[in-house]
A and B are shown apart, each in its own frame.
Chain A
């Protein structure tokens, strides 16, 4: 009888425990790792940053407009790997006020080399030939409320207050044709001829609403299958070409030099899936 009670109560305890515990242990989680490297390019050259307002123009659009880049940053989330034989991996996603508990969201910044390497762990052993990811922070990320770490605006997250959501992709620099005048505000200066293209907007909660959703999901073939095991940690080298966005959207810096709302950013967002290329994979 005592033993019966014990079993009953411990079963109850376990079931109560499991209903409150958010972190589920996936029985299929493996112990392999995979590295995704995001390497930013402008056309055929590796991106180099210049100070805002610099008139040293390294790059040119297809229409010949000269420009350089001072800031290039974007959020990657919801990374998935798939293989030809059914192997599957989905990165764990979590939003929390505790920065250490934020998972599955990555801020890639050209100014910070370490941010360009995303290491995925707990991957089941197997062959993988496809990677899928989201550029931006979709509804699930915003609607969990205030978050820490790379999602904390006080620590460098780019967030729109008035139309609440994260800026998916920020591209800033200087362009010979930009009509931007110098602006000196409280604690900030906008240099002349700069451009500031911020792509954001995640809302399409109700189909009757007129929102612009600029969250884009990208799926890339790795070209050949790579093997994940406890000894093999493959790496996919992915190139993000800013010029494909500018040229794909036919950006004319004399017109398009300040984008700070979803609708104006939509043509740029449309080009995001075309701007990522798998350069190569290392086994």
Chain B
């Protein structure tokens, strides 16, 4: 009987050690990745990097630490702020890196990265682990090499012990640092907007104006801003200009057909992530909608959906635009921007 019991316990152990999606029996789900029921399957490789509370908190500490930049002046949080769903603030449309340098594109929101296959405006990165490296090493952003960062972390008074607790390693190496970042980033799931609660029948109702906006959105916008994440994640030229100082997707594919194309961004929390477009051209949602209605500029790679026979762009009256904006505001997730787990704490 004793043998039977111990084997049963062993069964339980294996059951819990490999099934992270089985939440029963885990009291605190704060550090467990949970896919919202109305969301697609995540793309992240959790098998290689299972989320733990220690790993998540280590990622958070790194995210807020300016030590990682060349001169200790800039952290990830400098350009990705929780109040704007981890996009940059409106006052820094192109973000500010070390030596007060300006970047080249508007910093996108970091929410729902766990569900994406490609990252950045041009989709050049195809795995979340490799996302932070771009900001860390880019000379306009944090301008520090992975090698130097790892050296600084290994010499630090706190990090070696935190990495040992999170990953059981004696020496910090870059893949473990990137895994810590990913643990923090994949947990940034924003799925509790008014719209989500309405869709999931959780007692939230949309107003008539918002419902009318949703209907118009489905008619005029979902050809690109499709699905639960409000993007089909394709690359399109949306007619901002006729010439391209920033090649966009063509920087990655090196193909002329991709000149001036940028990724269709998710619209979750869009009312908080101004300014809009890769070039931060528009300050308000009204300006962005107006662009699609009357501002689309022709060029050889302009998206076919915006090449209407009679008129370029998407025909929309001002009243229709205003209703769509009312709907877009229902995508704000106030729980996410107030979620304590993503806040800086000096006490990890």
Instruction: Tell me which residues from 134 to 182 in chain A have a Cβ below 8 Å from any Cβ of chain B.
Output: 142-148, 151-155, 159, 161-164
Interface segment among B206-214, B217-225, B249-257: the answer is: B249-257
B18 at the interface (CB under 8 A from A): yes
Would you call A152 and B48 a contact (CB within 8 A)?
no
Which segment, of B88-96, B175-183, B305-313, B314-322, faces chain A?
Answer: B175-183
A95 and B14 CA atoms in complex are apart in Å by: 23
The answer to whether A146 and B129 have CB atoms under 8 Å apart is yes
Q: Cα distance A180–B146 when bound, in Å?
A: 27
Q: Are A97 and B179 in contact (CB under 8 A)?
A: yes
Q: In the assembly, what is the distance between CA of A267 and CA of B169, in Å?
A: 43
The reply to whether A161 and B137 form a contact with Cβ atoms under 8 Å apart is yes
Nearest A residue to B19 via CB reads A20
Question: Could you tell me if A13 and B253 are in contact, using CB atoms closer than 8 angstroms?
Answer: no
The distance in angstroms between the C-alpha atoms of A5 and B2, with both chains bound, is 11
**B112 close to A (CB within 8 Å):** no
Residues in chain B near residue A95, CB distance under 8 A: 48
Chain A residue numbers with a CB within 8 Å of B338 are: none
Q: How far is the CB of B235 from chain A (nearest CB, A)?
A: 9
- Known contacts being A13-B11, A17-B14, A96-B48, is A147 close to B124, with CB within 8 Å? no
Min CB gap B202→A, angstroms: 34
Q: Does A24 contact B (CB under 8 A)?
A: no
Is there contact, CB below 8 Å, between B175 and A152?
yes
B128: interface (CB < 8 Å): yes
Residues of B within 8 A of A151 (CB): 175
Which chain A residue lies CB-closest to B14? A16
> Within 8 Å of chain A (Cβ to Cβ): is B133?
yes
On chain A, the residues within 8 Å of B150 by CB distance are 154
A146 contacts across to B, CB distance below 8 A: 127, 129-130, 174-176, 178-179, 182
Known: A97-B179, A146-B178, A210-B255. A5 touches B4 (CB 8 A): yes
Per-residue contact bits, chain A 115-151, to B (CB 8 Å; 1 contact, 0 not): 0000000000000000000000000001111111001
B3-25 CB contact bits vs A (8 Å, 1 = yes)?
11001101100110110000000
Q: Are A152 and B173 in contact (CB under 8 A)?
A: yes
Please tell me if A209 contacts chain B, counting CB pairs below 8 Å. Answer: yes
B174 near A153 with CB under 8 A, answer yes
Contact call B254/A205, Cβ cutoff below 8 A = no
A113 contacts across to B, CB distance below 8 A: none
Chain A residues within 8 Å of chain B by Cβ, number: 45
Q: Would B11 and A16 count as touching, CB distance under 8 A? A: yes
**A220 at interface, CB cutoff 8 A:** no
A13 to B147: give the CA distance in the assembly, Å.
43
**Among A95, A155, A261, A262: residue with most chain B CB under 10 A:** A155
CB nearest neighbor in A for B169? A98
Question: Across the two chains, which residue of chain A brings its CB closest to B6?
Answer: A9
Consensus secondary structure, chain B interface: helix
Q: Is A263 an interface residue (CB 8 A)?
A: yes
In the complex, whether B125 has a CB less than 8 A from a CB of chain A is yes
> Which of A143, A155, A164 interacts with B124 by CB under 8 Å?
A164
**Given known A-B contacts A6-B3, A20-B17, A210-B255, A12 and B11 have beta carbons under 8 A apart:** yes
Residue from the list A155, A161, A264 in contact with B130, Cβ < 8 A: A161
Q: With the chains together, A98 CA to B252 CA distance in Å?
A: 30
Which chain A residues lie closer than 8 Å to B258 at the CB level? Answer: 210
- Shortest A152–chain B CB gap in Å is 5
Interface centre among A2, A9, A99, A203 (most CB of B within 10 A): A9
B101 at the interface (CB under 8 A from A): no
- Assess whether B175 is in contact with A148, with CB atoms less than 8 Å apart: yes
Q: Beyond A146-B179, A162-B124, is A13–B10 a contact (Cβ under 8 Å)?
A: yes
Q: Does A278 interact with chain B (Cβ within 8 Å)?
A: no
* Partner among B7, B169, B254 whose Cβ is within 8 Å of the Cβ of A261: B254
Are A145 and B45 in touch, CB under 8 angstroms?
Answer: yes
Given A13-B7, A13-B11, A145-B128: A97 in contact with B173 (beta carbons within 8 A)? yes
Taking CB as reference atom, which chain B residue is nearest A210?
B255
The distance in angstroms between the C-alpha atoms of A14 and B72, with both chains bound, is 51
1/0 contact trace for A181-216 toward B, CB 8 Å? 000001000000000000000010100011110000
A205 partner residues in chain B, CB cutoff 8 A? 126
Which residues from B are CB-within-8-Å of A6? 3-4, 7
Q: Is the CB of A162 within 8 A of B134?
A: yes
Closest chain-A Cβ to B45's Cβ sits at a distance in Å of 5
In the assembled complex, B1 has its CB within 8 A of some CB on chain A: yes
B52 within 8 A of A: no
Q: Does B344 contact A (CB under 8 A)?
A: no
User: A212 vs B254: C-alpha distance in the bound complex, in angstroms?
Assistant: 8
A97 near B175 with CB under 8 A, answer: yes
Q: Does the CB pair A161–B133 fall under 8 Å?
A: yes
A209-251 vs B, CB cutoff 8 Å, 1 = contact: the mask equals 1111000000000000000000000000000000000000000
Q: In whole angstroms, what is the CA distance A162 to B249 when docked?
A: 11
Is A154 in contact with B18, judged by CB distance below 8 angstroms? no
Determine the chain A residues whose CB is within 8 A of the CB of B167 once the complex forms.
97
Q: Footprint of B on A, CB under 8 Å?
A: 2, 5-6, 9-10, 12-13, 16-17, 19-20, 22, 95-99, 142-148, 151-155, 159, 161-164, 186, 203, 205, 209-212, 261-264
14 contacts between A and B (CB under 8 A): A9-B4, A97-B49, A97-B176, A144-B48, A145-B45, A147-B175, A148-B173, A159-B133, A161-B134, A162-B134, A163-B251, A164-B133, A203-B126, A263-B254
- A-B pairs with the 9 shortest C-beta distances? A20-B18, A210-B255, A97-B175, A146-B175, A145-B129, A146-B178, A154-B174, A146-B129, A263-B254
A153-B147, A154-B145 are known; give 18 further A-B pairs, CB within 8 A: A20-B18, A97-B48, A97-B49, A97-B167, A142-B126, A144-B127, A145-B48, A145-B128, A148-B176, A153-B174, A155-B147, A161-B137, A162-B134, A163-B251, A164-B124, A164-B133, A205-B126, A210-B257
